[in-house]
Amino acid sequence: MAVTLADVAARAGVSAATVSRVLNGNYPVAGSTKTRVLAAVEELEYVVNGPASALAAATSDLVGVLVNDIADPFFGQLAGAVQSQMGPGTPGGGPRMAIVCNTGGSRERELTYLTLLQRQRAAAVILTGGAIEDPEHIEALSARLRRLEAAGTRIVLCGRPPLPDAEAPAITFDNRGGAQRLTEHMLSLGHRAIGYIAGPAARTTTRHRLEGHRAALAAAGLGGGADRLTVHGGAYDRAAGYEGTLALLDREPGLTAVLAANDTVALGACAALRDRGLRIPDDVSVAGFDDLPFAVDTTPALTTVRVPLTDAGAHAGRLALSPDAPAEGVVTYPTTLMPRASTAPPPPEKP
């Protein structure tokens, strides 16, 4: 027998109207109440609009694209490339409407959007960007995605690794290799006091890029001081780069290079260095990651690692809509070092 709204309400100890408000997201509900309702939905495997089998052949023309921050050009490029595959004459037999869901990095929002997309019988859902490395969240996310797939929704992961025991195709980037080559570039210029501004902890992208950086340091015999010269930003934004660079300068006044988690963080790093009266790259070299559109137009032009966001996003769109696309597997896109004017040999040591 199918689980009903009333069953969820009874499990959560609330009214059916409250359950409806939580699932619709159109009326304020106390946080503790919302948590109980969503937990009951998970426990009972409640599927809105009836059993999953009834929905399998009834998907809509809607495609959900989950992003961490639509204001971040990284996600804007991915979402735009996905949408480029939604027009007439593209895979899937007709046009689709892409809905961008901005999670803001929130675990709860990510899960809530997936529930809402299931209610809308989305034809496909594309999850972009690094995944949150939290076992409880991964388990809840996997459960949501299994229900979507059972309801006929195609799932694609873009920019994040595959989930355990999941069949959804995954498009990943060689973040480790790119970060390793970037650090090797700095080492080849003669830098040894290299600071690293990592992204938020518990994100796969953060971990992979940091692993690549530290692999290069270890190979050069410099791994011992990596922790002291690494700071984690609370987000992939300018403020993280600014504050992180000031922290690194306080720890190591002889700092000669800063590697940033992405290009936006690198902009903050450049601003902090200038405010401290330091020249780029004469005093301190700076590099980013992603090769976002503004990177080549900064002054000086930013050394970075190119991530093929447009190609990957378009690929994700095709996978989401093409009935002939493989149902599972991992495709890894290479990354490319882009040396520019923001990096140079370190200044001569003062006598």
Could you state, in order of their start, the residue ranges of all structural domains in the chain? 5-173+311-335, 175-306
E strand segments, 160-284: 170-173, 194-198, 230-232, 257-260
Q: Which of 151, 91, 125, 157 is nearest to 321 (CA)?
A: 91
Q: Residue 261: how many CB atoms within 10 A of its CB?
A: 31
Instruction: Check residue 316 and give its pLDDT.
Output: 94
What is each CA distance from 238 to 53, 161, 225, 235, in whole angstroms? 47, 26, 25, 9
Q: Which of 336, 58, 25, 313 is nearest to 174 (CA)?
A: 336
Mean pLDDT throughout 64-68?
Answer: 96
**What is the average pLDDT value for the chain, to the nearest integer?**
89
Residues in the chain: 351
Cα–Cα–Cα angle for 102, 40, 117, rounded to 5 degrees = 30
Instruction: Check residue 346 and give its pLDDT.
Output: 97
Give whichever of 1-15, 30-44, 47-61, 331-345 has the largest mean pLDDT.
331-345
Mean pLDDT throughout 230-234?
Answer: 95
What homologous superfamily does CATH list for 5-173+311-335? Response regulator (3.40.50.2300)
Q: Token pair for residue 181?
A: 């080559």
| Bigger pLDDT: 348 vs 216 | 216
Indicate the SS3 state at residue 31. Answer: helix
Mean pLDDT throughout 245-255?
Answer: 97
Element (H, E) at 315: helix 309-321
Instruction: Check residue 52 and give its pLDDT.
Output: 42
On whether the pTM is more than 0.75, the answer is: yes
pLDDT tens-digit series, residues 292-337: 999 999 999 999 999 999 999 999 999 998 766 666 689 999 999 9
3-state helix vs strand vs coil in the chain, percent to 5: 45, 15, 40
CATH classification (class only), 175-306: alpha beta
Q: Which of 82, 194, 200, 185 is nearest to 132 (CA)?
A: 200
Q: Token pair for residue 193?
A: 């006091």
